[in-house]
Structure 1
Amino acid sequence: MLNAFRARFWDLALGSAMTVLFALSGTAVALPLAVAQLLPLFWRRRFPAAALLIVGSATAAHTVLGMARAIGFFPATIALYTAATHGSPRVKWVLCPAVGVAMAAASAVRHGPVEGLLMAIVTVTVAWLAGMERSEHLRQRMERAAAEDRERLARRVHDSLARTVTVMLLQTEALRATTPLDSAAEQRIDTVLGAGRSALAEVREALAAAGSGPALGPRLEMLRGAGLRISGHPPARLPAPLQDITDRLITEAATNALRHDGPGTLLTITTVPGDGTLTVRLTTEPGGSASGSQRAGGGFGLVSLTADIHGYGGELTFGSRHPAGWQLEATFPALVPGHD
């Protein structure tokens, strides 16, 4: 909340300063084009591609009409930087260069190949590269934060669950060694010890894998073997924190689908990329004789996922489908907001 308020404050301050500069310097040749250059900057974080397209187009048209370049290019460079920082790969590698070329061409028409074209190319290239560098910095910082979170969780599990299970095993071993037991009691003790050792091995295996994130593929294969049908593919090649959370979301949805709707249930995974956002939609369709239970709300897994997705600035919605089945939809930014 504080980061969002701070971002809005700086957007307002920046937009106001640019408006004052345009007004005092006489930069605006056409008032509608000046408004089109300045107004979209207030929404550039939420809609980076649209803001860049509008501001860049208005800047190119305004340049041809004789706009002063020094101040007149500022809004476009800000929009270009933001789009390169927050945008999807298509925005970064296609839209940003295309808008830069359009502005450079307009500047060349108005001011010639050196004063116009060369200066414009240098300006837009510096803004674009600065945004790309910022994007990479944010990605690395997010990956480090995710790794630190997993390590902290692993330490907590080790300090609590693993040690508790170890104490239980030692006490059970001591009970068998010091207490006369009949054959039935011995068998029960062996069962408890076997389950405890198995649980301890699973905890240690989970701790060892904590740095590599959830193994989504093997989990889905295991659920397929139990009768779940899966259509579509999970999103891949995401920044580590978002990859972890989408894997957890899919695992939760797949497990719940099999648990509540039974074998033969179809889980459909749909990934919808946007301009700096990603939407993962999961729908279930009970198979055959399954009735498709109508769950009134989310369990602990969905509550935890909702909190985590909100922490990344995203939203999670879920509910029953007509006539049967379930749908979950998570939408979150490709980068954590409030860090630019």
Structure 2
Amino acid sequence: MTVNRTIFGRPLRGVAFDVAVSGLVALFAVAGVVTQPGGWKATGVGLAMAVALLFRRSHPTPVAAVVGALALTQVIAGWGPQGYDIAVLIALYSVVKYADGLRDGILAGAVAAVGVVLAALQVRGPAAWWASAIYFGLITGAVWLVGLNVRTHRLYVLTLEERAATLEREREAESRAAVAEERTRIARELHDVVAHSMAVMIVQADGARFTIDRDPATAREAVKVVADTGRQALEEMRRLVGVLREPSRPEPVAAPGMAGEPGGGGLSAEPAHRRPALVELPELLDRFHAAGLRIAWTVTGEPPALPPGLELTVYRVVQEALTNALKHAGVGASVELDLGYSDDAVLVRAVDDGRGRPLVRPAPSGGHGLVGMRERVSVYDGSLTAGPRLAGGWRVEARLPLPSAAEGVAA
């Protein structure tokens, strides 16, 4: 658990460092109270500089102005350079690093250059004043350049952080848009399933009405079909309403590029408002085989009669899994596709070796890859796992529970 330690709205570490810097300046001021020109008055100027430096991060330009004014007072008094004048260099560094614009740093540098000359003129000793000016100028210039370098690095880091935050927001928006589009597509297909069921019910009900007198057995069978189809249509309607509800926060994609590109054509092209069925899987596999995948297809268990919506979901999961294998494993990759049926679930497993050649053109999927598969599987309360394999390649596994007999699935 990370604890943010702050004081006065600022990080505790930064405040402690600024207090230490100010304490160092104050120490220089107090230590020279006896020997330095100006005595206690000079010490008071040094202590005022130390107090001003406590605000050098939040108000760098005003602090530099205060420290500069105090230094000017020292020059006017004729005390000459003092040990606590290190505060001038610290204020110069702070305004270059923390000021909103570099203009303040340039202005502070120009004022510091004038101060260098004035300070050199008050140096007592055998050396010429210009030698002292060069010495002070080199130190001041080095401090200014260090501040500029740190400022550039800090702004670069802030730019990278802002760019990363912007990219994260864009990825989240794209993910939400992909989920919304896929849910709309699923809802449209489920609508077609429900409409087909309603048509079957109408036809069977009309047939029962005309045959109930002369062929009661056939009429009873027709009424049974109406009842079974109605239960199935009601279940599909429940799922349709669930799809149309406000989608939850999309889950992050497990690997880059797993989302397929929307659009028709190519491997997954299908006419509008057409509902593919599992009997068309061999034709789908042939298209992927022609595109360059080496598919080993196995079916285990006895295929039960699936509701149309669930059958469509199984077909789409297989389609998207193979499209992702072709797109990311490449042409020539080997894919093991297992379609398993048990008493309570349908299991789809697609495993590729990742050893193909890159595609010249990306393969369109007609959906949104892992996002689309996850949405489709969740509609039927299923589970989806996807991720890289230690031996290389990718593994996708979806489990779709079968409706219970109590739900009256029509044969």
Range into which the TM-score falls when normalised by the shorter chain: 0.3 to 0.5
Higher relative contact order structure (alpha carbons within 8 Å, sequence separation ≥ 6): 1
Task: Calculate the TM-score normalised by the size of structure 2.
Answer: 0.39
More helix, by proportion: 1
